[in-house]
Amino acid sequence: MSSTTVETSFGERLERRILGTYETGRPGPTMLIQGGIHGNEPAGVHALNRVLERLTSERLEVHGKFVAIAGNLGALERGERFLDRDLNRLWSASTVQHLEAQDPAHDCTEDREQRELISVYQDVQRQARGPVVFIDLHSSSADGPPFTCLADTLANRNIAAAVPVPMILGLEESIDGAVMDYFTYRGLVAFAIEGGRHEEPSTVDNLEAAIWITLVTAGFLEPDQTDLAKHHETLRRSSAGAPPVVEITYRHVLRPTDKFSMQPGFTSFQRVERNSLLAHDHTGPVFAPQGGRILLPLYQGKGEDGFFLCRDVRPFWLGFAKWLRHARLDRFLHWLPGVKRSPDDPNTLVVNPAIARWFVVEIFHLLGFRRRRTVGGRLTFTRRWTEPSAQRAYDQ
Ligand SMILES: [Zn+2]
C-alpha cells in the first residue's frame, strides 16, 4: 500500500484496521489479537492473516469470537516503528485521559491511531459475551528466542504459561504506557508476545504457533482442532536453552540526544557480567550496572529502551506464589512493619523503606505487587486485579 496525503475516512481506516473476525455463534471468550502496534513489526499482521485464513477455509467450529487488528496503520505503511510518538507508550490512564480531553484538531499521527484503537477496543468489549483475552504481537531488532511478557496476575500467567517460551515478569514495572496496561487496568487478560527478529521468517511461524496455542488454552478451540504438537515443537526449537521465567531488574532508558549505539552481537537472554561493555553513548562507554541476562538490546534507530537486564526466577517460586495468593495471605500484608494500605486504592500498598525490611519487596513480588513509584521517600506497590468473568474462566 502506498503512503498518501489524501485524508482517509474513519470507515476506510477501520476496514484496514480490522484484519478480520471469525465466529460460529457459540458463546466463549473474545480473542482480541493485535499486530503491528510498532510499524516496523509486520510479522504479527502476517501471523494473524494466516490464522484467519485457516479458521475460515477449514470452517472450524469455535467458542467465542476471534478479532484480528492492525495497530499503527500509518507506521506499518512506512515500515517505521512510529511516525511522531511510540504508540506503545501512550496507554497509562493519565495519557489516555489527556488524549480524550484533547481537541482532535491537535492530534499527532499516533494520537489519531490511538483514538481509533480505543474505539475498536471499546466496541469489542461491549459486544463480548464472555471474557476478553488481549494479545499484542511484536518482533525485535536483535536476534533471540521468542518470549511472552505480562502483568503479573494469576489469570495472565495461566494463559501465557501455556505458550512454551520464556515468560518475562515485571516489564510493566519499568515501562509506562504499553498497550497491555490499558487492558490490565480494566481487569482483562492481556499479554504480549515477542516472536523474534523483525525480518526472520521464523518470527511469523513463532507468533502463529503462539496464537494457536493460546486459542486452545483460552477455550476458543478444542485441542484436536489444530496441530498443537507441531506448534509446541516450533516454539520449543526457537527458545531452546532460554530460561522459563525471568524478572526485569534494570531498564536502560534512552533520550534522543544520547547517540546510543549497542555493541554488536548481543542476543536476548545472553548472560552478561557486571561492568561488561554493552554500548556507547555521548558520554562514552556504557557498562552493565549489574550481572544477569540481557533482553531486547536495541539495534534500530528508534526506541526509548537501550536494553533491559533480567534475572532468572525459579519455577518453584511461581508455584509458591500461586499458593500464597490462593491462601489469600495478601490480606495481611499491611500488618508488616512499615507497610500501609493506600487510602485511595485497595490494590496499592505504601511502604516506608526506613522501617520495612528488605524481604518486603520480595514478598510483594511473589504476590503480584509491582513497584509503581516513589512518593516522598515512600515506595508504592500496586497489584493488578482481574475482572470477575476472566477470573472465573482463567484464575484457577
Ligand atoms: Zn514492538
What the block records as the C-alpha cell of 337 is: 512493619
Q: Please tell me the distance between residue 193's alpha carbon and the centre of ligand 1 in angstroms.
A: 9
Q: Please tell me the distance between residue 8's alpha carbon and the centre of ligand 1 in angstroms.
A: 25
Higher pLDDT, 172 or 81: 81
What average pLDDT score do residues 171-176 get? 73
State the Cα torsion 141-206-194-78 to the nearest 10°.
50
**Whole-structure pTM value:** 0.86
Asked if 137 and 48 touch (Cβ cutoff 8 Å), the reply is yes
- pLDDT for position 4: 41
Q: Please tell me the distance between residue 81's alpha carbon and the centre of ligand 1 in angstroms.
A: 8
Q: Please tell me the distance between residue 69's alpha carbon and the centre of ligand 1 in angstroms.
A: 15
Q: Please tell me the distance between residue 353's alpha carbon and the centre of ligand 1 in angstroms.
A: 35
- Residue that has been written with the C-alpha cell 497489584 in this structure: 383
Convert the pLDDT of each residue in 309-323 to its tens digit: 999 988 777 777 777
Domains and CATH numbers, the chain: 10-238 (3.40.630.10), 248-312 (2.40.50.100), 325-394 (no CATH)
Q: Please tell me the distance between residue 250's alpha carbon and the centre of ligand 1 in angstroms.
A: 19
Q: Please tell me the distance between residue 108's alpha carbon and the centre of ligand 1 in angstroms.
A: 20
Q: Please tell me the distance between residue 42's alpha carbon and the centre of ligand 1 in angstroms.
A: 10
Percent of the chain residues past pLDDT 90, beyond the cut: 61
- If one counts every other C-beta atom within 10 angstroms of the C-beta of residue 143, the result is 15
Query: How many Å apart are CA 364 and CA 357, to the nearest integer?
Result: 12
- pLDDT for position 7: 59
Confidence of residue 3 (pLDDT cuts 50, 70, 90): very low
Q: Please tell me the distance between residue 94's alpha carbon and the centre of ligand 1 in angstroms.
A: 22
Q: Please tell me the distance between residue 3's alpha carbon and the centre of ligand 1 in angstroms.
A: 21
What average pLDDT score do residues 31-49 get? 97
Name the least confident of 38-47, 156-165, 297-306: 297-306
- pLDDT for position 10: 72
Convert the pLDDT of each residue in 79-115 to its tens digit: 999 999 999 999 988 899 999 999 999 999 999 999 9
Q: Please tell me the distance between residue 75's alpha carbon and the centre of ligand 1 in angstroms.
A: 12
Query: How many Å apart are CA 110 and CA 177, to the nearest integer?
Result: 14
Name the least confident of 45-54, 259-268, 347-356: 347-356
Name the least confident of 41-55, 210-224, 365-379: 365-379
Q: Please tell me the distance between residue 216's alpha carbon and the centre of ligand 1 in angstroms.
A: 24
Q: Please tell me the distance between residue 27's alpha carbon and the centre of ligand 1 in angstroms.
A: 32
Distances (CA, A) of 292 to 44, 171, 194, 219, 303: 29, 15, 20, 36, 22
Q: Three-class SS of residue 282? A: coil
